[in-house]
Amino acid sequence: PCVCVPSTHVCAPLSPLCPPLDINELNLPKTCEIDFSDQDDLLHFRLLICPDEGFYKGGKFVFSFKVGQGYPHDPPKVKCETMVYHPNIDLEGNVCLNILRWATATPRVATATP
CA torsion 78-84-90-91 (nearest 10°) is 120
Assess whether 2 carries a catalytic annotation. Answer: no
The active-site residue out of 2, 50, 80, 96 is 96
Query: In the structure, how many helices (H) and strands (E) does the chain have?
Result: 0, 7
Q: How far is CA 56 from CA 32, 102, 105, in A?
A: 14, 26, 31
Active-site residues: which are they?
96
